[in-house]
Copies of this chain bind each other. A is one copy, B any other.
Amino acid sequence: MAIEKLLLKLSLRDELSAEEEAALRALPEIIKEVPADKTIIRAGEALNDSTLLLEGLMCRYKDLKNGSRQISELHVAGDFVDLHSFTLKRLDHNIMTLTCCRVATVPHARLKRITEEFPHLTRILWFSTNLDAAIHREWVLSLGRRTALARLAHFFCELHVRLGIVGLTDGLSFRLDLTQVDIAECLGLTSIHVNRTLKVLREQGLVELRGGIVEIRDLIGLRRVAEFTDDYLSLERRPR
């Protein structure tokens, strides 16, 4: 039951054979709980395992000397948080938990075996890191060109889809245990401006965020202000 959400995420994009599924299930070595706000991987460390997120929210982030922080990706259950460390060996960013999390560690040696014995599964895992890169690109667009309002709207649209894939939405609402500071660090804004912008979204009847619950009031409208389309999330099942 551990890696069900990873299977959901991958099998949405391509068919997994029984052997491939078994190979995936055999990946985790250790499963553990990590409390919120723990940096579990630091930039530059030599790594021998990748981390699979089973439950909770994590992020990748970088800091500047003046103390400002930028989150480069948010991870939800089912995300193979640092699968890219398998080929990179050292990460260029830190990884931390935002909420209490359940994670599995996957030795790189096991991933290497997969590349030697399961070419199709290898392509699927490769795909999954390319999907992370596609998300990065969409964030680049948000940070470079979208207004604060559109950026925040886009953020909620993306999470609505990504959480929906792994069964963590309830129609138009979902749990999102982030502080306004966390959100600001995703969006390249200050928490104060996030606060004001949330107010505008609320007043326009688009979304509300209260007590860690996001309720989308008008999905069409929200997607319109965000100029959100889900193409970049590769939501199609096709041979990879």
Contact = CB atoms under 8 A, between A and B. Distances in A.
A55 to B, nearest CB: 24
B140 A143 contact: yes
Interface residues of A, number: 53
A211 interface: no
Nearest to A89: B238
A62 to B, nearest CB: 5
Contact of A64 (B123, B141, B187): B141
B137 A188 contact: no
Interface stretch (A97-105, A127-135, A157-165, A166-174): A127-135
B138 A139 contact: no
B146 A140 contact: no
B133 A132 contact: yes
Given A88-B234, A123-B115, A231-B43, A62 B141 contact: yes
A35 interface: no
A184 to B, nearest CB: 10
A129 B145 CA distance: 24
A72 B144 CA distance: 9
| Identical copies in the complex | 2
Of A88, A115, A231, most buried by chain B (CB within 10 Å of CB) is A88
A188 B143 CA distance: 8
A72 B140 contact: yes
Contacts of A112: 119, 123
B87 A123 contact: yes
A90 interface: yes
A44 interface: yes
Interface string A58-95: 00101011001110110000000000101111101100
Given A130-B133, A144-B187, 6 more contacts: A64-B145, A84-B133, A87-B130, A92-B234, A132-B133, A143-B143
